[in-house]
A and B are shown apart, each in its own frame.
Chain A
Amino acid sequence: MIEIKNLKKSFGDLLVWEGVSFTIEEGDITAIIGRSGCGKSVLLKHINALLTPDEGEIIIDEKNIFDLDYVDKRLLRQKFGVLFQGSALFDSINTFENVAFPLRYFTNQNEEEIHENVMRALRYVNLENAAQQETAELSGGMRKRVGLARAIILEPKYIMYDEPTSGLDPQTADEINGLILDMARQFDVTSIVVTHDMHSVLEVADKVAFLDQQKLSWFGTIDEMKQSNQKDLVNFITASEYQIKQ
């Protein structure tokens, strides 16, 4: 369980959001939605303590993660797999090595085991043929999927996906949605999906957190969302549905 309590963050004079509180339950898929620039990625980076808030706390395993010392923060982060918005692949090494990277440093697996695990992860994201390709040669969608393979390789307890489907064709996007569901259902992973793709939200999410106007504007289950008549949320959803139809 991840409890976010009264979080506030600003960069200099720019207030990103304040008073953000909600709880992410074990095994749930929680979607964080909101317009571009509303601070979704910034919120994700607080959940594994990459950024520190001005106020508030996040409780994981009964501890406020911002009180942890650096060593414990690093141990905490190892429980998270993160797919970054721009994939954040290491461009000095090839696709295979990117996925193998956490294995090489955090496990004692031998070359054979590493090979097997990496190829399994790449097969999982449908990229086994790209293993020896340089990351600079990959398309945006391929980079996303390599990032995903790297995020899941250590079988983390939590996975955070930052815009996993943006910039992908509908078919690949659906495949990714399938993978997210699969990870959550099959391996009991607690998932946090940042997105502005309503189709993806409806497909995968159990709970939805809507960031708007520098606060958590709405939070609830997917069914509650469908029935909600909160104006800003409805506007956001309508705009997206209009886009989906288009």
Chain B
Amino acid sequence: MRVFKELGKYSSLLYQGLRSSTEFSTYRKNLFQELVKVGYDSVPIIILVGIFTGSVMTLQSAYQLESAFIPLSTIGAIVSQSILIELAAVISGLVLAGKVGARVATELGTMRVSEQIDALESMGFNSVSFLVVPRVLAGILMFPVIYIVASVCGLAGGVAAGYFSGQVPPADFLEGARMYFYPWDVAFGVVKSFVFGFIITSIACYKGYFATGGAEGVGNSTTQATVLGCIYILLADFILAALLL
């Protein structure tokens, strides 16, 4: 019962957002700020995550596939495909469910419980268009970019780990990566990150926008936003894989 009520509230918030997304002048300034906060500010952590994922994948694959019969380029193929199809999108999604989701939920939650959202509405603002639309849009627009950054860093990390460990020469790694490179994998990754960006920001906005009960309430909303964000990312990952692969 409660699930349906929440779902109804969530979809009506999204519907309001969709309807008020035409009021571009209201949220233009906020959109630019959010693009920076969601995208640019996430770059350092995404670089770190990408490089480590790629290099760990490479070392582990090299360990698992240690055999005279398997060419070294196979490692490049496995690592690059895993990164492009799955890891770059999902791992950065999970990391940003923490970083972006928590920030958005806390921001909106604090604004709700300190009556700042009421203040916006009472001035005649459409608070959904002012607060929710730019954040969700920023998620949708920036996550594919983040996916690309994570992928590139992941591949670079893979090449570097292979080279410095002496187990996979860069030429072999890249040959494998090239041989099994399908543009469709990248398109799939972009679609996924698009969906993850929407999931993270829309859930965080929903939890923050309807927060109640002071500082503790905001804390609860933030926790729920990150936990639900992670759960729905994994769920969406599964559904998209079943549908699109």
Which A residues fall within an 8 A CB radius of B? Answer: 45, 48, 50, 70, 74-75, 77-78, 80, 82, 84-86, 88-91, 101-102, 105-106
Contacts and interface: CB of A to CB of B under 8 A. Distances in A.
Contacts of B111: 90
Nearest to B121: A50
B187 to A, nearest CB: 37
Nearest to B119: A88
Interface in B132-185: none
Contacts of A70: 126
Contacts of A74: 124-126
B55 to A, nearest CB: 38
Contacts, number: 44
A78 B123 contact: yes
- Chain B interface SS verdict (over half): helix
A160 to B, nearest CB: 8
B60 interface: no
Contact of A77 (B26, B114, B116, B122): B122
B66 interface: no
B115 interface: yes
Contacts of B115: 84-86, 88
B118 interface: yes
Nearest to B126: A74
Contact of B124 (A78, A85, A88, A90): A78
Contacts of B118: 45, 50, 84, 88
A102 B116 contact: no
Contacts of B123: 77-78, 101-102, 105-106
Contacts of B121: 50, 77
B125 A84 contact: no
Given A85-B115, A86-B114, A105 B122 contact: no
19 contacts: A45-B118, A48-B122, A70-B126, A74-B125, A74-B126, A77-B123, A78-B124, A82-B119, A84-B118, A85-B115, A86-B115, A88-B114, A89-B116, A90-B111, A90-B116, A90-B119, A91-B114, A105-B125, A106-B123
Interface of B: 26, 110-111, 114-116, 118-119, 121-126
A82 B116 contact: no
Given A74-B124, A84-B118, A88-B114, 17 more contacts: A48-B122, A50-B122, A77-B121, A80-B122, A82-B119, A82-B122, A84-B119, A88-B115, A88-B119, A89-B116, A90-B111, A90-B116, A90-B119, A91-B116, A105-B26, A105-B123, A106-B124
A65 B110 CA distance: 28
B208 to A, nearest CB: 14
Nearest to A44: B122
B16 to A, nearest CB: 9
Nearest to A147: B119
A88 B116 contact: yes
A77 B124 contact: yes
A45 B119 CA distance: 10
A82 to B, nearest CB: 5
Best-surrounded residue of B114, B119, B121 (most CB of chain A within 10 A): B119
Contacts of B114: 86, 88, 91
